[in-house]
Structure 1
Amino acid sequence: MVGKRSGKALRDEGLERTDNNMELSNWPQIPAINQKNYYTDYLKRDDQYLAFRLQNEEARTKMTKTAKDRDRALAMAKPEAEAEAEADGDANMEDAEETPAEAAGSKVIVIHIGSQNLRIGLASDALPKTVPMVIARKAATSECEDHEEPNPKRFKRDDGESLEPEKIFGSEWSSQYNRMSADLKVHMRQNKRRMLPNSKEMVMNYNRRTVPETISEHNDPMRIEWTELSSPPPEYIVGQPALRVPDSSNPRYKLYWPFQNGWCNEKDYSSKRMLFLDISLILEDAIKTQLGLTSKKEWAQYSCVFVIPDLYEKSYVTQALEMLMREFAFARVCFIQESLAATFGAGFTSACVVDIGAQKTSICCVEEGMCVENSRVNLKFGGRDVTETFIKMMLHGHFPYADVNLWRRYDFLLAEELKKNVCTMNEASVSPQVFDFHLRVSGQDTRKYTFKAYDEVHLAPMGFFEPTIFDNSEKLQGRRGLIEPSVDIYDGQSNDPVSAAQSEILTALAPTLPANDKADDESQPGTSGVQATPSRPQQPNALGRVQELEATPRSSVAGSPAPEVAGTPQAGGVGTPAVATSASQAPRPPAVEHRDDILPIYALDNAILTSIAHAARSDEKKMRDFIGGIMVVGGGSLTNGFHLFLEERLQTLRPGFAKEIMIGAPPRDLDPQVVVWKGASIFGKLSGTNDSWIGQLEYDRLGHRLMAYKCMWAW
């Protein structure tokens, strides 16, 4: 064993340690944290968030100002001042009458954007201004000249000749239409409705023989004032004047709709910048013309409430926030979801809101002022699809105006007017009836047409419950062509909001993925974990769970088989009877959350029950509350008899809840089209309790990250 060497020996060998007491580095040495016992309060207190600090500072400033004003008033309250006040009392009263107090909400602009209409107004207004969400831009051709095929699409023979009206839409569509017509006859016989024999043939023979009547312009009391182009012609025209620009104008103008089916219109635009530029131009024109705020300098004094969908896209919301804060320079901005705004407008605390718009239908259960996240459903059809289907059915029955083309502006407006005046869901009104309309074209005499209609007036809005009758072929065109989905910066997965009810519907509709494409789809953002599912639409499991709730008490541990319900339509309106099974009897398919190749087209009654099932979560009391508090809003619900028909459909699907099911309309005779805007205006006036305002200073420092702190829901 070698002993310890002496210091002299080490020095002789050059191994002695020398130390000048200098550190190895001048960087501060941080001791290691004791992993067993350490604590930090970083981001654990409200005063560490800028949003909360600014809010508290504003409250303190307001409190200080109020106290100073009160002290100043007390200090100036002297006897002589009181005497003078009595002497000048009348003058003060006159001054008070001349300068009234500012109305609540008079400095708040409420904006609700839809696919077809924009509703805008001040929060102090009783009703909003409605402006078509369209812009006409100079172009080489108009939209009807861009599309060779008319709308609705017609098939032709191989030699180019036109087919008979019964064949112009294809055998598949005609067979479905004839089946729906036969089912309606059976249902009317069961309800003891009187029907004339050969009604269909009578209508077709009448329409074949009728010829239009020409009316000169000076004899037409309802003639249309077409938009006259100034000199030089403007680069763009916005709103209702854009729809009244003649198709054959010189120069030509082309219509652009920035929103289609509740999504940003990526099909008709070539760049994201032009898309949002058109949105800002439409909003700017509406604020100037409809609200009278012609100077942009005034806008900095106003706040803005912006309505967004329940199932929104984060990229759209953040872009809208930037536009409102930067381009419009509003003082404050806040967001509210459509269904929550609808309950505000109707004065309900809890409801299942069914919002049927022009091109999308959204369903969401609201409970105690909050949207139930897993109940949100967004379907891509609406009143515009009913208009197109009604025209197809009329053309199938030898409509006298066979040249109708919805790409033409006057034909589109005519079709919308016919749908509003003729369509009904009341079976008592289904009979051969005579209607008329006036066709007004710029530069031509008015033509008056007379036609007969039979069951088309009922079967067209029936498409809400059998949506495969709609033309859904082009609704996914251009999807994700301009706007990428919002993704998480850590794992690259899509972080747009998802809903269990929507995922279940998409799973039922999901086509089978090819084996060689699975790996590619799993590697793409937002498609992780998507597996192949049967191509045939299946009944969603949520509906099975509702029937299981009917059949088995909650206290039972072992569930019993659900009763068979004959005639329950499957997803997408398939008329084959289906037997709903409980969740324990059938394996649950994997949920499809993010698949941009799946179009959510689903029967409305089944979608409502799916939403309610996910909101109730097997709680029978909640189920009965939601199913007895269904509120239908939106312009698509204005069809006569729609509420009663929807009640009957839901009672047929769920006989165990037949007594509780009730479809309600907005109270106080409020127009269903403006309920959402009305609720947003009420929300904008809640200045004392609304903590979701985003100010300019906050946005300058934190940007759209503020949404995580300011939203009333999980951003």
Structure 2
Amino acid sequence: MVGKKSGKALRDEGLERTDNNMDLSSWPQIPAINQKNYYTDYLKRDDQNLAFRLANEEARTKMTKTAKDRDRALAMAKPEATEAEVEADGDANMEDADETPEETVGSKVIVIHVGSQNLRIGLSSDALPKTVPMVIARKSKTSESEDHDEPRPKRMKREDGTEEEPENQFGPEWSADFNRMSSELKVRMRQNKRRMLPNSKDMVVNYNRRQRPEIISEHNDPSRVEWTELSNPPPEYIVGQDALRIPDSSKPRYKLYWPIRNGWCNETDYQSKTMLYLDLSLILEDAIKNQLGLTSKKDWLQYSCVFVIPDLYDKTYITQVLEMLMREFSFARVCFIQESLAATFGAGFTSACVVDIGAQKTSICCVEEGMCVENSRVNLKMGGQDVTQAFVKMMLHDHFPYSDINLWRRYDFLLAEELKKNLCTMTEANVSPQVFDFHLRVSGEDTQKHTFRAFDEVHLAPMGFFEPTIFDNDHKLDGRRRLIERSVDIYDGQANDPTSGAQSEIMTALAPALTPNGTANAEPQAAPSDVQATPSRPATSNPLGRVQEQEATPHSSVAGSPAPEVAATPQTAGANTPAVSAPTTQPARQAMEHRDDILPVYALDNAILTSIAHAARSDEKKMRDFIGGIMIVGGGSLTSGLNLFLEERLQLPPSRIRQRNHDWSATQRPETHSWIGKLEYDRLGHRLMAYKCMWAY
């Protein structure tokens, strides 16, 4: 056994301790906490929560008021009455008060849903909302049709300035796409044993070439339009349906402004964001007064407001809306709810894949147990107005008799919307050469009755949801971020708008990679200033078949890969999966959701599959539930047969896709903690959103 070494031996071996017992640092040493006595209740009790304290204060105030009313009743009782009689009378009065009928649940809650083309507004207790055009007309030197030299849709001209033939007015690429889609439709109809005349297109063109309008005098027109009459002096602005009925040649001239375009704030037509938000406020104020009958702003203090926002929103827009509702409109409380969640509330579903097809925006989101699945949110910049414009172009291509149609003119825009609503269909059985007519009504002119024939145009125009190359996507990004800055985090300066894995995957498939200096790769088709083309649609897939195959072969995944955070190479979707990006060694990309040079336009069926894949996350049961619970809402979903066509496109069993006529949410009892009150907003401002939203803000 080795004994203890002496100090001399340690010194000789270099192991002797030579320090002088000084501290290693001059910083004060904090002793460890004695765990036996350690205790704190900071933010552990409910009464330390602001919302809980305010609710208690409200209950205490109500109880105090009831006691004061009781004391007042006792004081005003007869002097000769005994105390027992007074108490009995007070109890009887309270019972009578309790028996009085209470107001309808939701009758003091205003629900507002702002869209690109229409505003839906109503009380939460209403079965259906009021629909108002989301437009305001202001005095101007010229109208919007006079501001644009070229008609809409834009036609090409020859070198000598004369007009091209209708078949060549929209360029060879568009004509080739239209003819290809027409040929594919004929093949499908033959495969489905549907009869079709071989010269149907020639019949339509020859018939339309010979047609001349029939003139009907205004006093013989039973359905003449009531145009908006200007008062004297004329107002500075006109809102809603009356604005659309102002004649283009009115004196003075009025110009239409749409505050929301493609689901974003309209930064193209406005010169300042102050005017943009002012017009938004005026439209909402007019709708509350005229549609809900609340003409006095003093009454608004008694009402709460539920504001429906997009699933993928801009925080700057939400902050401004909250300021408007609390300060200008003086609502008692405000609550925000996402579109997809509102749609499921209105339909009475707890879980669904919501496809909201609006006028200029299509959003897709999977809702599970009353919560939106964050990574499943998709926002596409296409909608019903794109179908309208594509339908007009197709009809002009086939020698539409009213060749002078111009969607910048108000009466032509309303006419085109009416024709699309009445004629367009996704049911192939209704595709045949048919004769239709319409009445062209212009202020101060006689009515013209036009007769025309249409064939496959009524089907191919809404087919643009699945073939987006037929849409006109050239100017949808004009003015983006010109007036309104992106919201950024106050600590690290990074963009903090909500993101989504499904949206990132779609944007990655459409976008070029960025080089280290922040520019796009030098490829002809990948210039940042150009709108990226939509990849051609792959062969239709059968998601249910893939799920069933998964049970027998568990080694492969049904879900797409999550959105890459590093460089990625876009891959075209295969026959069995949506487009998935694979990591490579290319330079890192900027976050796809924060690229303002990429237009998210993608085939609708592929976008639905991408959304569901990110929501299910390789869970076969969730995949099966979402695919079997697709619900399409919005104005664009009213196209006849769209749900059946989408089922066939996705190869789903019949009656799997539910189609609703409206996406109104009967939000009568929002969660108590999600309301934002005046006192809270005065103290904390828009920072409350992080604590009050029903989702991760």
Question: Same fold by TM (over 0.5)?
Answer: yes
Q: Does 1:491 align with 2:492?
A: yes
Residue by residue over 1:648-706, the C-alpha shift from the partner in whole angstroms, topping out at 9 and shown as x without a partner, is: 0011xxxxxx449810123xxxx32xx2x3x2xx32x216x432111111101100000
Distance 1:301 1:31, change over 3 A: farther
What SS class does the counterpart of residue 592 from structure 2 fall into? Answer: coil
Q: Please give the alpha-carbon distance, in whole angstroms, between the structure 1 residues aligned to 2:133 and 2:51.
A: 36
Which is worse superposed, 581-590 or 351-360?
A: 581-590
Q: Counterpart in 2 of 1:620? A: 620
State which of 654, 659, 665 in structure 1 corresponds to 2:659: 665
State the shift of 1:293 in Å. 1.4
Q: Please give the alpha-carbon distance, in whole angstroms, between the structure 1 residues aligned to 2:236 and 2:557.
A: 68
Q: Counterpart in 1 of 2:565? A: none
Q: Counterpart in 2 of 1:347? A: 348
- How many percent identity over aligned positions? 74
Q: Does 1:697 align with 2:691?
A: no
Give the letter for the 2:503 counterpart: Q
Q: Please give the alpha-carbon distance, in whole angstroms, between the structure 1 residues aligned to 2:90 and 2:493.
A: 70
What SS class does the counterpart of residue 166 from structure 1 fall into? Answer: helix
Counterparts of residues 447-466 of structure 1 (less than 5 Å)? 447-466=448-467
Distance 1:554 1:305, change over 3 A: farther
Counterparts of residues 700-711 of structure 1 (less than 5 Å)? 700-711=682-693
Q: Counterpart in 1 of 2:669? A: 686
Q: Please give the alpha-carbon distance, in whole angstroms, between the structure 2 residues aligned to 1:74 and 1:619.
A: 67
Q: Counterpart in 2 of 1:569? A: none
Q: Please give the alpha-carbon distance, in whole angstroms, between the structure 2 residues aligned to 1:219 and 1:439.
A: 14
Q: Please give the alpha-carbon distance, in whole angstroms, between the structure 2 residues aligned to 1:310 and 1:561.
A: 25
Distance 1:133 1:78, change over 3 A: same
What SS class does the counterpart of residue 120 from structure 1 fall into? Answer: strand
Q: Is the 8 A contact 2:469 2:533 kept in 1?
A: no
Q: Does 1:605 align with 2:588?
A: no
State the shift of 1:53 in Å. 2.4
Q: Is the 8 A contact 1:548 1:582 kept in 2?
A: no
Counterparts of residues 15-94 of structure 1 (less than 5 Å)? 33-34=30-31, 42-43=42-43, 45-62=45-62
Counterparts of residues 118-157 of structure 1 (less than 5 Å)? 118-157=119-158
What SS class does the counterpart of residue 113 from structure 2 fall into? Answer: strand
Q: Please give the alpha-carbon distance, in whole angstroms, between the structure 2 residues aligned to 1:622 and 1:457.
A: 36
Q: Tell me, which stretches of 5 or more residues in structure 1 are unaligned?
A: 1-29, 521-529, 563-573, 652-657
Q: Counterpart in 1 of 2:333? A: 332
Give the letter for the 2:621 counterpart: K
Q: Please give the alpha-carbon distance, in whole angstroms, between the structure 2 residues aligned to 1:180 and 1:537.
A: 15
Q: Counterpart in 2 of 1:116? A: 117
Q: Is the 8 A contact 1:551 1:560 kept in 2?
A: no
Distance 1:96 1:229, change over 3 A: farther
Counterparts of residues 300-699 of structure 1 (less than 5 Å)? 300-513=301-514, 516-518=517-519, 537=535, 551-553=549-551, 556=554, 558-559=555-556, 578-580=574-576, 587=583, 592-651=592-651, 658-659=652-653, 662-666=656-660, 671-672=661-662, 675=663, 677=664, 679=665, 682-683=666-667, 685-686=668-669, 689-699=671-681
What SS class does the counterpart of residue 330 from structure 1 fall into? Answer: coil
Q: Is the 8 A contact 1:486 1:496 kept in 2?
A: yes
Q: Please give the alpha-carbon distance, in whole angstroms, between the structure 1 residues aligned to 2:87 and 2:535.
A: 81
Residue by residue over 1:260-290, the C-alpha shift from the partner in whole angstroms, topping out at 9 and shown as x without a partner, is: 0000000000001000000000111111111
Q: Please give the alpha-carbon distance, in whole angstroms, between the structure 1 residues aligned to 2:290 and 2:359.
A: 24
Q: Please give the alpha-carbon distance, in whole angstroms, between the structure 2 residues aligned to 1:203 and 1:394.
A: 10
Q: Counterpart in 1 of 2:281? A: 280
Q: Counterpart in 2 of 1:168? A: 169
Indicate the RMSD between aligned Cα atoms, in angstroms.
3.5
Q: Please give the alpha-carbon distance, in whole angstroms, between the structure 2 residues aligned to 1:632 and 1:434.
A: 30
Q: Is the 8 A contact 2:547 2:624 kept in 1?
A: no
Q: Is the 8 A contact 1:305 1:334 kept in 2?
A: yes
State the shift of 1:129 in Å. 1.2
Distance 1:103 1:456, change over 3 A: same
Q: Please give the alpha-carbon distance, in whole angstroms, between the structure 2 residues aligned to 1:44 and 1:279.
A: 42
Q: Is the 8 A contact 1:549 1:618 kept in 2?
A: no
What SS class does the counterpart of residue 407 from structure 1 fall into? Answer: coil
State the shift of 1:123 in Å. 1.7
Q: Is the 8 A contact 1:605 1:646 kept in 2?
A: yes
Q: Is the 8 A contact 1:358 1:636 kept in 2?
A: yes
Q: Please give the alpha-carbon distance, in whole angstroms, between the structure 2 residues aligned to 1:248 and 1:415.
A: 20
Count residues with an aligned counterpart: 637
Distance 1:709 1:577, change over 3 A: closer
Q: Is the 8 A contact 2:111 2:122 kept in 1?
A: yes
Counterparts of residues 181-192 of structure 1 (less than 5 Å)? 181-192=182-193
Q: Is the 8 A contact 1:488 1:494 kept in 2?
A: yes
State the shift of 1:470 in Å. 0.3
Distance 1:226 1:538, change over 3 A: closer
Q: Counterpart in 1 of 2:15? A: none
Q: Please give the alpha-carbon distance, in whole angstroms, between the structure 2 residues aligned to 1:363 and 1:208.
A: 42
State the shift of 1:78 in Å. 9.3
Q: Is the 8 A contact 1:511 1:535 kept in 2?
A: no
Give the letter for the 2:623 counterpart: M
Q: Please give the alpha-carbon distance, in whole angstroms, between the structure 1 residues aligned to 2:602 and 2:138.
A: 35
Q: Please give the alpha-carbon distance, in whole angstroms, between the structure 2 residues aligned to 1:194 and 1:403.
A: 34
Q: Please give the alpha-carbon distance, in whole angstroms, between the structure 2 residues aligned to 1:395 and 1:484.
A: 40
Distance 1:468 1:43, change over 3 A: farther
Q: Please give the alpha-carbon distance, in whole angstroms, between the structure 1 residues aligned to 2:480 and 2:350.
A: 36
Q: Is the 8 A contact 1:510 1:598 kept in 2?
A: yes
Q: Counterpart in 2 of 1:3? A: none
Distance 1:498 1:59, change over 3 A: farther
Distance 1:421 1:536, change over 3 A: closer
Q: Counterpart in 2 of 1:654? A: none
Q: Please give the alpha-carbon distance, in whole angstroms, between the structure 1 residues aligned to 2:552 and 2:322.
A: 46
Q: Please give the alpha-carbon distance, in whole angstroms, between the structure 2 residues aligned to 1:420 and 1:430.
A: 16
State the shift of 1:561 in Å. 11
State the shift of 1:69 in Å. 8.5
What SS class does the counterpart of residue 173 from structure 2 fall into? Answer: helix
Q: Please give the alpha-carbon distance, in whole angstroms, between the structure 1 residues aligned to 2:577 and 2:120.
A: 44
Which is worse superposed, 158-167 or 580-589?
A: 580-589
Q: Please give the alpha-carbon distance, in whole angstroms, between the structure 2 residues aligned to 1:592 and 1:321.
A: 27
State the shift of 1:50 in Å. 2.5
Residue by residue over 1:481-521, the C-alpha shift from the partner in whole angstroms, topping out at 9 and shown as x without a partner, is: 0111110112211000001000000000112446654499x
What SS class does the counterpart of residue 413 from structure 2 fall into? Answer: helix
Q: Tell me, which stretches of 5 or more residues in structure 2 are unaligned?
A: 1-26, 522-527, 560-570
Q: Is the 8 A contact 1:509 1:537 kept in 2?
A: yes
Q: Is the 8 A contact 2:259 2:265 kept in 1?
A: yes
Q: Is the 8 A contact 1:121 1:291 kept in 2?
A: yes
Residue by residue over 1:381-435, the C-alpha shift from the partner in whole angstroms, topping out at 9 and shown as x without a partner, is: 0001000000000000000000000000000000000001110100000000000
Q: Counterpart in 2 of 1:208? A: 209
Q: Please give the alpha-carbon distance, in whole angstroms, between the structure 1 residues aligned to 2:101 and 2:617.
A: 52
Q: Please give the alpha-carbon distance, in whole angstroms, between the structure 2 residues aligned to 1:325 and 1:61.
A: 23
What SS class does the counterpart of residue 691 from structure 1 fall into? Answer: helix
Q: Please give the alpha-carbon distance, in whole angstroms, between the structure 1 residues aligned to 2:379 and 2:207.
A: 41
Q: Is the 8 A contact 2:138 2:238 kept in 1?
A: yes
Give the letter for the 1:133 counterpart: M
State the shift of 1:47 in Å. 3.7
State the shift of 1:62 in Å. 4.8
